[in-house]
Amino acid sequence: MDLFSDVIGSMRAGQKSFCRTRGTGRWGRRLEPFSGTGFHVVLEGGGWLVTPSEPPVRLGAGDVVFVPHGAAHGLSGTPDRSLAELPAAPGAGLPPEDAAAPHADVVCGAYRLDRGRAHPFLRGLPDVIHLPSGRHPGTRTLVGLLADRPESGSGADAVVPALIDLLLVHLLRAWHDDAGLPAAPDDPAIAAALHRMHHDPRHRWTVEELGAEVGMSRTAFARRFAALVGLPPMTYLTHWRLNRGAWLLRETDAPLASIARQVGYSSEFAFAGAFRREFGVPPGRFRHRERAVGEPAPRV
């Protein structure tokens, strides 16, 4: 698993929601800060991205807005309102009288994460990222597939989450390339170390051993890993183990002791303590809550 796949996997540890918003005229919506990650995909029409401190940014069909760590922002049909002036709920709008009337068709979604435990890579990103479709043809293709997805029938409920995952991976890679940043997944040594952590989280890894595995000294490996990934190796490994544990709690019926062993903890008590510090609730309560809430099929 590469770094961006890990980022998407960490999002899935949260509670996901999708909706489709259609607005006309002076439509608008203000989104307050929340713990998690959100996005908007403009399928048709256009509008404006509104943030607390920057001028409004025009959005067109095919554009994607990514909110890595739940910052306040808004969407609007016109650029003449501040974030505070936008309604907190989707603005009601009448159908346009002609094709030239301002309108938008937008898919919105969020992955809500306990206590704002976003992936370390996400915490280093800007509050809001705008990816115009014109610069990245791959984005237009994915948005087109999202707009043309089946409304019902065999496989329809699986289409939206799968396309969103692909779109977000593409967005992260495109932003990373546009920003001219060194790409950790493309650094052979760091990519190899990440693969070893992901493939075998139960192993008792040390910084010295990981460095030796990829042909680097302990000091040089730790410095390069932290610069590219955003956290020291052992801190990142703990993050990966606990998010993997959260996925196993939600998606399987494995006993707590088994999950603890699978993600590298010597006992279920050690795992439970670390899990509670990370997610704010014990593993058993986390599993019960996730099963009680469930994940209804998205209808967007």
Statement: residue 288 has pLDDT above 50: yes
In angstroms, the CA 106 to CA 10 distance is 24
| Identity of the residue numbered 76 | S
| pLDDT for the residue numbered 96 | 44
Provide mean pLDDT across the span 138-144: 77
DSSP reduced 3-state for 47 = strand
Answer with the residue of higher pLDDT: 212 or 159. Answer: 212
Answer with the residue of higher pLDDT: 15 or 102. Answer: 15
List the CATH code of the domain at 3-178: 2.60.120.10
Cα angle: 187, vertex 193, 196; to 5 degrees:
135
| pLDDT for the residue numbered 108 | 87
Same fold flag, 3-178 and 184-293? no
| pLDDT for the residue numbered 292 | 65
Statement: residue 17 has pLDDT above 90: no
In angstroms, the CA 136 to CA 132 distance is 7
| pLDDT for the residue numbered 173 | 77
> Domain map of the chain by residue range?
3-178, 184-293
Domain 184-293 has CATH 1.10.10.60: yes
Answer with the residue of higher pLDDT: 253 or 292. Answer: 253
Instruction: Could you list the beta-strand ranges (E) of the chain.
Output: 15-24, 28-31, 36-50, 57-60, 64-67, 73-76, 103-112, 129-131
| pLDDT for the residue numbered 197 | 87
| pLDDT for the residue numbered 189 | 85
Provide mean pLDDT across the span 168-177: 75
Among the residue ranges 10-24, 38-52, 72-86, 95-109, the one predicted with the least confidence is: 95-109
Phi-psi domain of 106 (left: phi exceeds 0; alpha: psi -120 through 50; beta: other): beta
| pLDDT for the residue numbered 200 | 87
| Identity of the residue numbered 48 | W
- What is the secondary structure of the chain as a DSSP string? --HHHHHHHHHTTSEEEEEEEEEESS-EEEE---SEEEEEEEEEEEEEEE-SSS--EEEETT-EEEETT---EEEESSSSS-GGGS-SSPPP-PPPSSTTS-EEEEEEEEEE-GGG---HHHHTS-S-EEE-GGG-HHHHHHHHHHHT--SSSTTHHHHHHHHHHHHHHHHHHHHHHHTT---GGGSHHHHHHHHHHHH-TTS---HHHHHHHTT--HHHHHHHHHHHHSS-HHHHHHHHHHHHHHHHHHH----HHHHHHHTT-SSHHHHHHHHHHHHSS-HHHHHHHHHHH--PPP--
Mean pLDDT, rounded, of the chain: 80
Provide mean pLDDT across the span 46-72: 90
